[in-house]
Chain A
Amino acid sequence: MSTRIVGNTALTTFDVLIIGSGAGAGPVAYMCAKNGLKVLVLEAGANHFDHLDDPNQQPVPEHANDEIKFQVRNFIDLDSRMDPRSWRTSDADGLRLSVGAVNGLPKHVGGGMVHADVKMPRFETQDFMMNTLLAGKVQNANFADWPISYADLEPFYAYGEKAIGVQGKTGTNPFESPRSGEYPMPPGLAMYLSSIATQGLAKSGFTAFPYPTAVNSQPYDGRPACNDCGYCSDYGCPINAKGSCAVTMLRQALLTNNCLLLAETRVQKLVMNAAKDTVTAVECVDPTGNVVQYTASRYVLAASPIEDARLCLLSDVGGKGVGNSSDMVGRNLMFHLQTASVGIFNERLHGHRGRTVDTGFADFRGKAVNYDASNPSTALGGIVEISGSERPVNEASYYSEILLRSQFKLDGRVFKKLLRQAPFRDRIIVMVMQAEDAPQATNRVDLDPNVVDFFGTPSPRITYKNHPYELAASDYRGPMMVDPIYKNMGARWAAVTPRDDIPGSAHIMGTLRFGADPAQSVCDATGKFHDVQNLYCSDGALFPTSSGYNPTMTIVALACWVGANMVFPGSPTQAIQ
């Protein structure tokens, strides 16, 4: 069994206490620890790595090529009964429409980055100034420019890419913003299906490029090259070829001797002083169920946007919530509306051999133009991921869902024939387009008045409904995936698949947006709460807008920025020199 206590166990007093251990936490821990600050990291979930703090060998994960463990029995995903969330689309729905899984991220050491396929494109220059570019033309939305620019963040993108190990090729995405250097690693090999997709895209007038991912395409930083085992998205990497923060920046922090990590330690609330402007401790449940407190000089929320906001609200029962003079805590919650499509081919494409995604295109994102609500082509879509990997247990559930519909019947002979011929496993190319979620104050996290988790703590309630802006982008570009793109790839069949009712993108942003105006934002440009002098946020909760690119690289860069500003206020680049 992997250890629950990792790092320097002799540490008893801390300068910085970080809640969470994922993409928003590891970089802060490293920035602070490598500059001499004593850091305590509290993670609610388990630690699935042995030797995470061992300088003499690489961590040994409990992860495996095991479909039952990861996709059926949810080894690292939230248990929807013990950690439930509720969901509704608006107040008009009543207290809630459902209880259970609502866009959860794993709770374990390394957070969601461990089981992601770590697609790591940067945001573009335009993504930091969407309010200016849209000029107020999107009604009932709450767009805001970021308080920092792409140029401010670029050195931290570059630093983060090097720290976690990102593969890619400069100049292949025609829409990318200027980079200060080449990617740390070249692109790895591409799947066979990617070559088919690339040809079809070129014929359709679009430009495929190697997807930037934090996956080693060669031995890097003591970790091995990826061997394209195929168990990537939804799976922890058995060989540490994925550069999740657990095995990169968090591990580096632990190796400084200035960091202690406590797993299975769930923070239940921030303990505030009487004026509610200073955090004095955090109250936790430890692995055996005891309630304990930990203290530090400064505190950082990095538990993912929904949990960050939940904690602010739990910590001021009867009040507005910690740091909430603006009434913006929990609001402007953004997911990415994902438009998925599938092309089915006559030939076998063996998409299970390879990384989940190695190729994409960004033409559906493009550049912001004068927005016109009557012209859906002016609503920005997002980057499109191309994949195909699938395994037979999941595949079987697709077929059973089909055959159990009223139009069909479950005839085992047909069911088995489908599994043997594998049209939905071995003969598919899947494309998924992200899309910029228009931020809306009404899309929010608050505390469900009735639903609780295993510990009896009020669960987060998600109120979320898509805005016509992203729906227009999806409705306009989804059919284009079918024709001309799948047609030009040579697919026999193609379709856009139905949207889910309950959000589940695993791209979670907003709830503690940062900005210059304390009346319109929760945190300032450095991630510090406007209202609380020793509380920070360092994850995707800070995002004022969501872009149309995968968020994790920007979370890592932003966490580097926040950590660097904590160490060197006003001159953060000193921390990365």
Chain B
Amino acid sequence: MNGSNHRRLRVVPSDGHSRRDLLRYVGGLAVATAIPFPFTGCDGSTPVQTGFFTDAERSALGVLANAVIPPDDTPGGKDLGAIEYIERLMTAFDNENATTPPAIFAGGPFSGRNPYPDENGLPSTNYPPNSFATYLYLDRVKEAGWRVLLFGSAALTGGAPNDALLGAVVGMRDQMKKGLADAIANADPPLEKMSEDDLIVYFNMLEPTFRKLVIDLVSEGCFGPPEYGGNLNLAGWKLTHFEGDSQPLGYSIWSTAQNKYVERPDAPMTTATVTDPEPLSADVIALIDQVVSLLGGTVFQS
């Protein structure tokens, strides 16, 4: 959104991350003189699993995925592939070896979903291969970072940098297992038998860090490129009216025959959208009114 700062726009003031929270990092310890860390995963000490979730966990996660993205006239989070996305991330290093990179970064440059343009700036019948389908190797620093993120500080011999100052990192795999275990244990009735309204109440009572992790991962699984395991049949992009990746066709296509740009009639760039597939509804308008008021902004049309 923001062309300059390469980060996400902060839409609303955060509830958390206060100055007081930041102060917990203030401390004093000797400078470490560590030499590069070998990965504990390389010598087999990281447990290897082919499936990450148990049936019970998978069932519970399906309920939570549908709590985030409920099924309606379009698929919910479970059927959009959120579980498969999350499981692939949790097991990203399971099959990693000298010939198979970890399942972290899909390749590039093209997915093969869109064709090359022809000389007139129209879609050709020539499609590139899907280079998203294979993963990329990570450099040493990136690999260390991802191992710590997934497995925690134990992924590196001697722990993650600054554990002594900041505390050991709990890996995302452990966060997910613990969060699911608690969500299952505390549910009464069981998650699978909760009414839609009860599920909303229960979901909002989940431990906040786990709740946010589920929301983020389910969103990624539903609306990211399908090569990561989710967005089955591109249904996540379809329901959001999002066109997904567009290379190597793009939206303004250079015609080598005419020496000028040609636009796609099906997806105009410089002109208005002819029909809105899903206009703003009254309840969404009311919600935006509230959010803009929180920001101290202005409602020009009520």
Binding site for B on A (CB under 8 A): 1, 45-46, 60-69, 71-73, 75, 77, 79, 81-84, 86, 93-99, 115-117, 119, 188-192, 195, 218-219, 224-234, 236, 238-239, 264, 285, 287-289, 336, 338, 340, 342, 344, 346-350, 352-354, 356-357, 385, 387-394, 396-398, 400-402, 404-428, 430, 432, 434, 449-456, 458, 482-483, 486-487, 491-498, 500-501, 504-507, 550
Contact across chains for B10 and A238 when beta carbons are under 8 A apart? no
Write out the residue numbers on chain B whose beta carbons fall within 8 Å of the beta carbon of A86: 25
**Is B212's beta carbon under 8 Å from chain A?**
yes
B45-53, B54-62, B162-170, B181-189: which lies at the A interface? B162-170
Q: Which of A190, A287, A492, A501 contacts B139 (CB 8 A)?
A: A287
Q: How far is the CB of B62 from chain A (nearest CB, A)?
A: 13
**Is B237's beta carbon under 8 Å from chain A?**
yes
Contact across chains for A400 and B269 when beta carbons are under 8 A apart? no
Closest 4 CB pairs of A and B: A227-B250, A495-B297, A64-B108, A65-B245
Q: Which residues 187-216 of B have a CB within 8 angstroms of A?
A: 200, 203-204, 208, 211-212, 215-216
Selected A-B contacts with CB under 8 Å, 22 pairs? A84-B161, A99-B25, A188-B261, A192-B268, A226-B250, A227-B254, A229-B245, A233-B4, A236-B108, A288-B140, A338-B4, A350-B273, A353-B269, A391-B223, A402-B287, A405-B15, A410-B211, A419-B223, A450-B162, A454-B141, A456-B35, A487-B300
**Is B257's beta carbon under 8 Å from chain A?**
no
Residue among A65, A231, A239 facing the most chain B CB atoms (10 A cut-off) = A65
Q: How far is the CB of B32 from chain A (nearest CB, A)?
A: 5
Write out the residue numbers on chain A whose beta carbons fall within 8 Å of the beta carbon of B26: 93-97
- Given A392-B223, A483-B298: A116 touches B281 (CB 8 Å cut-off): no
Indicate with 1 or 0, residue by residue over B267-302, a CB within 8 angstroms of chain A CB atoms: 111111100101111011001111110111111110
Contact across chains for A238 and B109 when beta carbons are under 8 A apart? yes
Contact across chains for B109 and A396 when beta carbons are under 8 A apart? no
Q: How far is the CB of A95 from chain B (nearest CB, A)?
A: 6
Q: Which of B68, B136, B301 contacts A410 (CB 8 A)?
A: B68
Contact across chains for A340 and B9 when beta carbons are under 8 A apart? yes
Binding site for A on B (CB under 8 A): 1-15, 17, 19, 22-23, 25-37, 66-70, 72, 74, 77, 104-111, 117, 131-132, 136-137, 139-142, 144-145, 148-149, 160-162, 165-166, 169, 200, 203-204, 208, 211-212, 215-216, 219-220, 223-225, 228, 236-237, 239-254, 256, 259, 261, 263, 267-273, 276, 278-281, 283-284, 287-292, 294-301
- Given A96-B26, A192-B272, A414-B283: A353 touches B267 (CB 8 Å cut-off): yes
Q: Which of A189, A287, A354, A497 contacts B11 (CB 8 A)?
A: A497
* Chain A: CB-nearest residue to B163: A81
Question: Interface of chain B, helix or strand or loop or mixed?
Answer: loop
* Chain A: CB-nearest residue to B21: A98
Contact across chains for B291 and A289 when beta carbons are under 8 A apart? no
Q: How far is the CB of A453 from chain B (nearest CB, A)?
A: 6
Contact across chains for B111 and A64 when beta carbons are under 8 A apart? yes
How many Å lie between the Cα of A434 and that of B4 in the bound state? 9
Write out the residue numbers on chain A whose beta carbons fall within 8 Å of the beta carbon of B25: 86, 96-99
Contact across chains for B252 and A189 when beta carbons are under 8 A apart? yes
* Chain A: CB-nearest residue to B289: A493
- Given A65-B111, A82-B141, A450-B27: A188 touches B252 (CB 8 Å cut-off): yes
Q: Which of A94, A239, A482, A500 contacts B248 (CB 8 A)?
A: A239
Contact across chains for B248 and A66 when beta carbons are under 8 A apart? no
- Given A455-B36, A550-B4: A404 touches B212 (CB 8 Å cut-off): yes
- Given A418-B284, A493-B288, A550-B4: A393 touches B148 (CB 8 Å cut-off): no
Contact across chains for A505 and B28 when beta carbons are under 8 A apart? no
- Given A68-B225, A96-B26: A392 touches B280 (CB 8 Å cut-off): no
Write out the residue numbers on chain A whose beta carbons fall within 8 Å of the beta carbon of B252: 188-189, 226-228, 354
How many Å lie between the Cα of A340 and that of B5 in the bound state? 10
How many Å lie between the Cα of A194 and that of B219 in the bound state? 29
How many Å lie between the Cα of A61 and that of B267 in the bound state? 26
Contact across chains for A417 and B281 when beta carbons are under 8 A apart? yes
Contact across chains for A422 and B240 when beta carbons are under 8 A apart? yes
- Given A410-B204, A428-B1: A401 touches B298 (CB 8 Å cut-off): no
Write out the residue numbers on chain B whose beta carbons fall within 8 Å of the beta carbon of A82: 141-142, 144-145, 148, 161
How many Å lie between the Cα of A264 and that of B14 in the bound state? 36
Q: Which of A79, A407, A418, A494 contacts B298 (CB 8 A)?
A: A494
How many Å lie between the Cα of A17 and that of B174 in the bound state? 45
How many Å lie between the Cα of A226 and that of B247 in the bound state? 10
Contact across chains for B161 and A452 when beta carbons are under 8 A apart? yes
Question: Interface of chain A, helix or strand or loop or mixed?
Answer: loop
Write out the residue numbers on chain B whose beta carbons fall within 8 Å of the beta carbon of A421: 278-281, 284
How many Å lie between the Cα of A340 and that of B297 in the bound state? 12
How many Å lie between the Cα of A98 and that of B18 in the bound state? 11
Residue among B11, B131, B160 facing the most chain A CB atoms (10 A cut-off) = B11
Contact across chains for A402 and B291 when beta carbons are under 8 A apart? yes
Contact across chains for A287 and B245 when beta carbons are under 8 A apart? no
> Told that A414-B287, A420-B240 touch, could you supply 10 new A-B pairs with CB distance under 8 A?
A45-B139, A64-B107, A66-B106, A68-B224, A84-B162, A189-B269, A219-B254, A408-B290, A432-B5, A456-B35
Q: How far is the CB of A462 from chain B (nearest CB, A)?
A: 13
* Chain B: CB-nearest residue to A449: B31
Contact across chains for A412 and B298 when beta carbons are under 8 A apart? no
Write out the residue numbers on chain A whose beta carbons fall within 8 Å of the beta carbon of B2: 233, 338, 340, 385, 387, 430, 432
Contact across chains for A228 and B228 when beta carbons are under 8 A apart? no
- Given A348-B276, A401-B11, A412-B70: A407 touches B139 (CB 8 Å cut-off): no
* Chain B: CB-nearest residue to A104: B6
Write out the residue numbers on chain B whose beta carbons fall within 8 Å of the beta carbon of A219: 254, 256
Contact across chains for B19 and A501 when beta carbons are under 8 A apart? yes
Write out the residue numbers on chain B whose beta carbons fall within 8 Å of the beta carbon of A75: 105
Write out the residue numbers on chain A whose beta carbons fall within 8 Å of the beta carbon of B22: 97-98, 501
Q: How far is the CB of B87 from chain A (nearest CB, A)?
A: 15
How many Å lie between the Cα of A234 and that of B283 in the bound state? 33
Contact across chains for B251 and A228 when beta carbons are under 8 A apart? yes
- Given A229-B247, A454-B161, A495-B295: A412 touches B5 (CB 8 Å cut-off): no
Contact across chains for B6 and A233 when beta carbons are under 8 A apart? yes
How many Å lie between the Cα of A81 and that of B267 in the bound state? 41
Write out the residue numbers on chain A whose beta carbons fall within 8 Å of the beta carbon of B1: 387-390, 394, 428, 430
Q: Which of B165, B211, B294 contacts A99 (CB 8 A)?
A: B165
Q: How far is the CB of B298 from chain A (nearest CB, A)?
A: 5
How many Å lie between the Cα of A72 and that of B146 in the bound state? 12
Write out the residue numbers on chain A whose beta carbons fall within 8 Å of the beta carbon of B27: 95, 450
Residue among A338, A350, A413, A425 facing the most chain B CB atoms (10 A cut-off) = A350
How many Å lie between the Cα of A413 and that of B250 in the bound state? 32
Q: Which of A230, A239, A423, A452 contacts B288 (CB 8 A)?
A: A423
- Given A347-B276, A392-B237: A225 touches B261 (CB 8 Å cut-off): yes
Contact across chains for A81 and B149 when beta carbons are under 8 A apart? yes
* Chain A: CB-nearest residue to B72: A416
Contact across chains for B28 and A449 when beta carbons are under 8 A apart? yes
Contact across chains for A452 and B32 when beta carbons are under 8 A apart? yes
How many Å lie between the Cα of A421 and that of B287 in the bound state? 13
Residue among A84, A226, A421 facing the most chain B CB atoms (10 A cut-off) = A421
- Given A412-B70, A424-B11, A432-B4: A450 touches B29 (CB 8 Å cut-off): yes
Contact across chains for A218 and B270 when beta carbons are under 8 A apart? no
Residue among B2, B8, B36, B289 facing the most chain A CB atoms (10 A cut-off) = B2
Write out the residue numbers on chain A whose beta carbons fall within 8 Å of the beta carbon of B299: 492-493
